[in-house]
Amino acid sequence: MKNRIKVERAEMDITQQQLADAVGVSRQTIVAIENNRFLPSTPLALKISRYFSKPVESIFILEDTD
Amino acid sequence: MKDLLFPHKFQPIGWCTFIPALVIGILIYFDTFSFLPNWGATAVNDIAIIGIAVGALFIVCSRERIEDEMTRAIRLSSLLNSIYVYVVLLIACTLFINGLNYFYFLTANTVLLPVIFVINFRLEMSRYNKISNDEEQN
């Protein structure tokens, strides 16, 4: 599964730490999600999407191999 | 689902218990405490085993400074990997160690899984921390 968190952060001009604080996780978790090393849970994915005010499907993209 | 984790302050308590107990345990194998009377040697053995077990428990089952779903996933994955490593070690030692040495292995075996779990979990956590530190703060 791909995600556009890095792109959305760049558009909002926020750091990984700021996003991590906003959604209640560590910066390591945000880094791991951005690098596709960790799949967020449904609540975390929804929190991230709500933070960016975008639908979850536009932030997290399901791939054919998933 | 509620996690049954100790507060973060138990982690340093765990390290302060685990490392001395591990050192005592290693020293026992070199007959360092042979000068003690029977009850003393038994007490030292008990301190080593219980200290390692309780110390390891506090280290891996305490909340991280920031406890989130990724640390929980790492903890669970480390536990699974530790079980695999433990079983492989158990089979290998059973096949290749015999006699009195196997008895020494069996005594170490009582705390082998917690020790492997501690090593595995801390290695995984430091790996993820290193990756995030290497990544440019942006």
Where do the structural domains in chain B lie, given as residue ranges?
A: 10-134
DSSP for chain B, written as a single string: -----B-TTHHHHHHHHHHHHHHHHHHHHTTTTTTS-HHHHHHHHHHHHHHHHHHHHHHHSBPPSS--HHHHHHHHHHHHHHHHHHHHHHHHHHHH--THHHHHHHHHHTTHHHHHHHHHHHHHHHHHHHHHHHS---
Q: How far apart are CA A27 and CA B137, in angstroms?
A: 9
Where do the structural domains in chain A lie, given as residue ranges?
A: 2-58
- Scanning every residue of chain A, which has its alpha carbon at the shortest distance from the alpha carbon of B138? A15
Q: What is the pLDDT of residue B36?
A: 84
SS3 assignment, position A4: coil
pLDDT in tens, B15-67: 999 999 999 998 988 888 888 888 888 999 999 999 999 999 999 899 988 88
DSSP A39: P
pLDDT in tens, B87-135: 999 999 999 999 988 988 998 898 899 999 999 999 999 988 888 777 6
Q: What is the pLDDT of residue B137?
A: 57
Q: What is the pLDDT of residue A29?
A: 92
Put simply, the answer to whether B69 touches A29 (Cβ < 8 Å) is yes
Torsion, Cα of B51, B56, B57, B58 (10° steps): 90
Report the complex ipTM. Answer: 0.82
* pTM for this entry: 0.83
Q: How far apart are CA A43 and CA A1, in angstroms?
A: 16
Put simply, the answer to whether A29 touches B131 (Cβ < 8 Å) is no
pLDDT in tens, B55-94: 999 998 999 888 889 999 999 999 999 999 999 999 999 9
pLDDT in tens, A5-59: 999 999 999 999 999 999 999 999 999 999 988 999 999 999 999 999 999 999 9
A16, A26, A38 ranked by CB distance to B138: nearest? A16
Q: Indicate the CATH number for domain A2-58.
A: 1.10.260.40
Q: Residue B136's pLDDT band (boundaries 50, 70, 90)?
A: low
Rounded to a whole number, what is the distance in Å from the CA of B135 to chain A's nearest CA?
Answer: 8
- Scanning every residue of chain B, which has its alpha carbon at the shortest distance from the alpha carbon of A42? B69
Q: How far apart are CA B121 and CA B138, in angstroms?
A: 27
